[in-house]
Structure 1
Amino acid sequence: MEYQRPSYRLPRAHGPKVAVIGGGHGLSTMLRGLKQYTENLSAIVTVADDGGGSGMLRQDLGMLPPGDIRNCMEALANTEPVMRELLHYRFTDGALAGQSFGNLFLAALNGISTSFDIAVSRMSEVLAITGRVLPVTTADVQLEAEFENGASVVGESKIFYCKKQEDCRIKQVRLIPAHPKALPAAMAAIRDADMVVLGPGSLYTSIIPNLLVDGIVEAIQQSDGLKIFVCNVMTQEGETEGYTVSDHIAALFHHSVPGLFDLCLTNSSPIPKGVAARYAEEGAERIRCDTEACTKLGVEIVNRPIATVENGFVRHHPGHLARELILLHAERSVRIAGNRFDYRDDTYLVEDWKKEKR
């Protein structure tokens, strides 16, 4: 006689351990969705930014850039509406014009803490964030880009303008000083993850800089978790004009090791013609998925509806992207102790296999 044990709904506290690696708005967007499925999140964030408000604080106070890290903490925060409004507030007048309160908050914590990563940890406690946000390194690094014509430029914020001027592809990027040491907690989070996600975000200025930090690539290789690259939906002006999906993958492998990941999640949602036309005016277009070339690189393409249009801009949809990542983990991960994972809403269901009663 066969029987089936009852199903159990487990809270997000028991969700999969997910390590996400990147920076910029793409990373924070994905985190907003993932926190609905699991509390076991670790965001490993680049610290190569030197533009905008972050660049000002970096220059004036000698601290690491707070912007990308602040964005991730805002995405994972569980705070009152007033605090969320404060974090987003940007000053409009005086010497602080353009600076965000969130950046200044982290700068103040950095001033009373013994290290930047401790300041980030303390701000995370204040905001009661879901999961952890970790700087990839505490070293003071600059990003250098070398172009195919031999030209080069130092400074993350200068790469866009230099690429437009040189009118050729980026050959490679480097960190100065080279080979900074990764934050031990970041490496541990990656090694211990059930799923490691690279991107989405700017290829050369948000994702790749993390791979140039000593210990990160090795930690990804040592992880037994599912490894996925989330490709952008559109090419990025001043960075990846004309790139296909395989071009993105090849660049990631060139700056790390071949086969760093074997799955790539791409978007299948349609882009309205009017929106596509506006992007074309700026030299950007939908990234073409050249599946055969990706297969030759050893990467399987998974095409899912994960994008949306907001105020005329194409963005990843937080909920749709997170759901597809969680489903991929459920489908591709090795079953442990006879359990099959089936994610529903903000919890996941553990359903025992049918067993023969003897």
Structure 2
Amino acid sequence: MNIERLPTVVAFGGGHGLSASLGALRRITDRLTAIVTVADDGGSSGRIRAELDCLPPGDLRMALAALCGDDESGRTWADVLQYRFPGDGSLGGHAIGNLLIAGLWQRLGGDPVAGLEMVARLLGARGRVLPMSAVPLEIEADVVGLDPSVPDEVGTVHGQEKVAKTTAEVRAVRLIPADPPASVQAVQAVRDADWLILGPGSWFTSVIPHLLVPQLAEAIVDTGARRILTLNVQSDAETKGASAARHLELLAEHAPALRLDVVLADSSFVRDDPHLESYATSLGAELVVADIAHRDGSARHDPLRLAATYAEVMGV
């Protein structure tokens, strides 16, 4: 690897998908920024969000943990951030990292970026973590099959947790408010980047929402950076058996102006999908197929194999 050519990379997402991407990317560059969804309304994040009227910290915490180093100190800090208090009391279920982040936000007058950067310095994180919006958001979805007695009727599901868990077919999502302010630092990071990475992750609640924040979406579309879309290893609970090509179609429906340079897919997901390459081409992208799934057969990306593929695509 030529360290003089380390790229500046911005990765978008939330939860486990973004963690997988960051775990790979930090192995090939330290010029790395994670831009994270802020619509979580469940679990510890939802409780903190409701009580303190702040951004939900959970996905931000997971991104910070993913950027910790592989040495003993880094892994210890990652474990501490992710540790949850047991029991059913007032602290039960809260992650230590969520409380740390929320506490710093309170102490620093509610400045979310300053708090996140202080945590990143404490952890020795290899990169920055930024919220995609300066305000907490809500996700609302149009779904079909919500009521089994009228399976073709279109209904509405409100809230990220409910959208992620619905048994109905999700057709479209939107943000509330519909025109939220983007994080100023996130927009600037996109403008300064060499590469943008969308996905992997929950398609409707982690990947697409970034394209629904107008200022951020405009920056993603207009940037001179090259754009990679990393598909999941297989369809997830939100897309329920949808083909890889259908994932591209859903993305295009929510962001018609978006063009891509590379669509990265695991070989197992593209098997028997005759339309994927033509869909990728229609978005301006080269389809890159590689064995990037974890060897244990789970629906996860292997960080080392994904890192090697990213490095090859970026030429580092």
TM-score, normalised relative to structure 1: 0.79
For residue 155 of structure 1, what is the aligned residue in structure 2? 159
For residue 225 of structure 1, what is the aligned residue in structure 2? 225
Equivalent-residue separation in structure 1 for 2:222 and 2:277 (angstroms): 28
Equivalent-residue separation in structure 2 for 1:175 and 1:291 (angstroms): 28
Native 8 Å contact 2:231 2:244 kept in 1: yes
Matches within 5 A, 1:177-326: 177-237=177-237, 239-268=238-267, 288=273, 290-295=275-280, 297-298=282-283, 299-310=285-296, 313-326=298-311
Mark the runs of 5 or more structure 2 residues left unpaired by the alignment: 145-152
* Identity within the alignment, %: 37
Q: For residue 188 of structure 2, give the secondary structure of its aligned residue in structure 1.
A: helix
Q: Against the structure 1 CA distance between its residues 225 and 81, is the aligned structure 2 distance closer, same or farther, given a 3 Å change threshold?
A: closer
Equivalent-residue separation in structure 1 for 2:257 and 2:263 (angstroms): 14
* 2:40 pairs with one of 37, 49, 56: 49
Equivalent-residue separation in structure 1 for 2:26 and 2:248 (angstroms): 27
Equivalent-residue separation in structure 2 for 1:314 and 1:98 (angstroms): 25
Count of residues in Structure 1 that have an aligned counterpart in Structure 2: 302
For residue 25 of structure 2, what is the aligned residue in structure 1? 34
Q: Against the structure 1 CA distance between its residues 76 and 296, is the aligned structure 2 distance closer, same or farther, given a 3 Å change threshold?
A: closer
For residue 146 of structure 1, what is the aligned residue in structure 2? 142
Equivalent-residue separation in structure 1 for 2:76 and 2:265 (angstroms): 36
1:87 aligns with 2:86: no
Native 8 Å contact 2:74 2:123 kept in 1: no
For residue 25 of structure 1, what is the aligned residue in structure 2? 16
Native 8 Å contact 2:82 2:95 kept in 1: yes
1:60 Cα shift? 1.8
Structure having greater relative contact order (Cα 8 Å, sep ≥ 6) = 1
For residue 76 of structure 1, what is the aligned residue in structure 2? 67
**Cα displacement string for residues 114-172 of structure 1 (whole angstroms, at most 9, x for unaligned residues):** 222221121112112111111001112111001243200210001144x31xx3x3221
More strand by share: 1
Equivalent-residue separation in structure 1 for 2:266 and 2:66 (angstroms): 22
For residue 147 of structure 2, what is the aligned residue in structure 1? none
Equivalent-residue separation in structure 2 for 1:107 and 1:61 (angstroms): 8
1:288 Cα shift? 4.4
Equivalent-residue separation in structure 1 for 2:49 and 2:24 (angstroms): 30
Native 8 Å contact 1:47 1:64 kept in 2: yes
TM-score, normalised relative to structure 2: 0.89
Mark the runs of 5 or more structure 1 residues left unpaired by the alignment: 1-8, 272-284, 331-342, 344-358
Q: Against the structure 1 CA distance between its residues 124 and 287, is the aligned structure 2 distance closer, same or farther, given a 3 Å change threshold?
A: farther
Native 8 Å contact 2:263 2:280 kept in 1: no
Q: Against the structure 1 CA distance between its residues 80 and 231, is the aligned structure 2 distance closer, same or farther, given a 3 Å change threshold?
A: closer
